[in-house]
Structure 1
Amino acid sequence: MSTPPLTVTAPSSQPPFRYIAIEGPIGVGKTSLAQRLAERWSMRTLFERPEDNPFLERFYRDTARYALPVQLHFALQRAQQVQEIAAHLPSTALITDFMTQKNSLFARLTLSEDEWQLYRMLAARIDTPAPTPDLVVYLQASPEVLFSRIQKRAVAMELQISDAYLRALCDAYNTFFYHYDQAPVLTVNAEHLNPLESEADLTLLAERIQTMRGRKEFFVKGTSL
């Protein structure tokens, strides 16, 4: 009796969701992952473009002084990006390395109370409802890992980020996603996952995204949660 040939199933090139948003703190690998998943599933990309904010470099040097202008500029940028997202959907599968809904996370973290109230009033004037992602992939890593990655990629203005700010940012993200319920969220421990350089890691995560069925699920490489 002959042995039937081994059948290898190729990974699906069809995007499992129409609109995927990748989120997480600076240095966690959002843009790299979005780019690789977009290539795998033939999705259009829309990236955050923080370099377009003329106040960002000064903000990293003097957070208190430049927090308000940097957040107002991001609010204006987000309003434009909401229009870009809406223009692509639903005809095009889209993946982004940001959520427009995160503006308040950064503003609340960095602004004094009176600036926060001013920001809220001004942002409300330009805010437009954003399309809700079909899936959010929240990448997590410890402040120590993020700091190491920021040092390694050596972007000049990012090297000025303080340890205190990075720790506060990680806490703010965890709190934000603990309460976030507008879309399904896959929380991924990104400390030992390298989808940029490892095809195996990319495939592992892509398969986990494709099997996502619940509202909140967790993925840690080497475990099943």
Structure 2
Amino acid sequence: MENNFDFIAIEGVIGVGKTSLAKLITERYNARLVLEQFEDNPFLPKFYDDRERYAFPTQMAFLASRFKQQQKMLSKDLFQQMTISDYIFEKDRIFARLNLDDDELALYDSIFEIMTGIAAKPDLVIYLQASVDRLMENIRQRDRDYERQISRSYLEELSKAYNHFFYNYNKSPLIIINTSEIDFVSDEKHLDYIDEQIFNQPIRGNTQIHIIPD
């Protein structure tokens, strides 16, 4: 059996490896790669310094940027049949619920509800999980200036919010992979196994992949 997808989205908490996996799959299948443009958000460094003050402008900047990308994804690429992205549009609301106060969230939702109805819908979502310890280590290793302020407590909050969201997610077939003890970047056998499960195994509802590290 071979699974054919037009649009695969890879999701997970900061530092889990979603962009790395998106790039690796893109290279294998000559797909179109769409990456979240988080570095273009001028409010993000300020948000990590002062979460309460800069949450709303940070969120609205992300919402506008992601929606523009979603509109571009709706157009077909004649040379690359499959699109791989390192986020889904609905993830934006995970952060909004976590960071905005009630009045800000109400205003945000009025805009989000309009946009989400016309955003691109993935044929498959891959949700990468990892322990907070692993996330902290990954963030430490890549050493981005603005991520140095990310606290363990914020990652714990975010992980809980992501788990709740995806355990109730039903808009697309979903694969859940725990990456705490594996390394699909350095170990090609781990990547091969993930590839096999995505493209050559039946996917019904929510599927969890368990990879036993060597």
TM bucket by the smaller chain? Answer: over 0.9
Q: How many residues are treated as equivalent by the alignment?
A: 211
- Distance in 2 separating the partners of 1:89 and 1:19: 12
- Distance in 2 separating the partners of 1:126 and 1:188: 29
Letter in 2 for 1:142: S
| 2:52 counterpart (64, 76, 79) | 64
- Distance in 2 separating the partners of 1:190 and 1:88: 32
Q: Give 1:157 shift.
A: 0.5
For 1:47, the equivalent position in structure 2 comes to: 35
- Distance in 2 separating the partners of 1:136 and 1:125: 22
Q: Give 1:163 shift.
A: 1.2
Q: Give 1:181 shift.
A: 0.3
For 1:216, the equivalent position in structure 2 comes to: 206
Letter in 2 for 1:62: D
Matched, 1:21 2:9: yes
Structure of greater Rg: 1
For 2:191, the equivalent position in structure 1 comes to: 202
Matched, 1:161 2:150: yes
TM-score w.r.t. the length of structure 1 is: 0.88
Letter in 2 for 1:179: N
For 1:151, the equivalent position in structure 2 comes to: 140
CA contact (8 A) 1:105 1:172 kept: yes
Q: List runs of 5+ in structure 1 lacking aligned partners.
A: 1-13
Matched, 1:115 2:81: no
For 1:74, the equivalent position in structure 2 comes to: 62
- Distance in 1 separating the partners of 2:212 and 2:183: 13
CA contact (8 A) 1:72 1:123 kept: no
Letter in 2 for 1:96: S
CA contact (8 A) 1:76 1:126 kept: no
Q: Greater relative contact order: 1 or 2 (C-alpha under 8 angstroms, separation 6 or more)?
A: 2
Matched, 1:97 2:86: yes
CA contact (8 A) 2:71 2:120 kept: no
